[in-house]
Amino acid sequence: MSLTLPTDAGEPMSAILVATPEVRRHSFASGTRQVSLRNTGTNTLWFSFDKKHWYDVACGTSWDDRVSVREVWYCTQVGKTQVAVIGLALVGA
Amino acid sequence: MPFSHYPKTVGNIVLAWVHPSSPDVPPADGMPDFLGLPFSELNLARGPLGPGTVATGYHDAQPFTRFYGSIACDQRLDVCLSFSNDEVDVLGRPVTDESLPTLNYDALGARVLYDPTRQEQVGKFFTMIFGRWLRVEVKNVGEAETARVRLYVRGSVF
């Protein structure tokens, strides 16, 4: 029986980031099919896909959706927080 | 967008003064970084606290519903947890790390007159949040500088 991957499978591109009031950019090694974030610190995370529209993720919470991006921007309003980010890349044919 | 899953924090120390403190040790190979960052980056203590000296720390209170913690010290301390509801600074700008000390902390959440001879009674504190921003002031009201301090402030999301 041949081994086949489900159609929504992907290769994880994982990173642990530290967000501060300075806006930083995180680039994925390739385009994503899904991005998951978890704010593991104690301050609110702000993140953006285009540096124009920003979303907040409260500490202790996570966010995920099927988005095709190559980079995200992130920061805090005050203090710092830690972020676990996993971008799923398409599995090669 | 599907915001968001129910909050549960792992690391929840928002402020800490620990002196003397343990050295930082990097995570073991192949193991998670359970702390997330070196404890020295959380620790606000920069040495002994002299008599009459005040150490102050700030944190966003909004992510939490209450704060709790513990105190241990060889000197008497006056510990105050206060809250500000200012949404902007005096110039109308969004609050930043730099402007946190300039806000109005009108709501006193908890005050502990710590005495090392009464550890069981005064070695702990708890407060709901009464504002957007938390300020914690630690004043040495003893006769000598502190030889040891352990003061942890933790936030609870429930």
Asked if A58 has any chain B CB less than 8 Å from its own CB, the reply is yes
DSSP B24: P
| 3 state DSSP class of B121 | helix
Q: What's the pLDDT score for residue A93? A: 45
pLDDT tens, position by position, B22-69? 999 999 999 988 888 899 999 999 999 999 999 999 999 999 999 999
| pLDDT tens readout for residues A11-64 | 889 999 999 999 999 999 999 999 999 999 999 999 999 999 999 999 888 999
Tens digits of residue pLDDT in B4-28: 555 667 789 999 999 999 999 999 9
B140-151 confidence digits (pLDDT tens): 999 999 999 999
Question: By the CB < 8 Å criterion, does A14 face chain B?
Answer: no
Q: Would you state the pLDDT for residue B3?
A: 47
Tokens representing A12 are: 């994880």
Cα separations in angstroms, B106 against A30, A91, B81, B113, B130: 50, 56, 11, 19, 9
* CB contact set of B72 (below 8 Å; sequence gap of 6+): B116, B119, B123, B148, B149, B150, B151
- Arithmetic mean of pLDDT over chain A: 90
The residue of chain B with its CA nearest to that of A84 is B36
Rg (CA), chain A: 14
Establish if B158 touches chain A: CB-CB under 8 angstroms. Answer: no
Residue type, B79: V
Name B116's Cβ contacts closer than 8 Å, sequence gap at least 6: B72, B73, B74, B75, B76
Distance CA B84, CA A87 (A): 38
Q: What is the pLDDT at residue B5?
A: 53
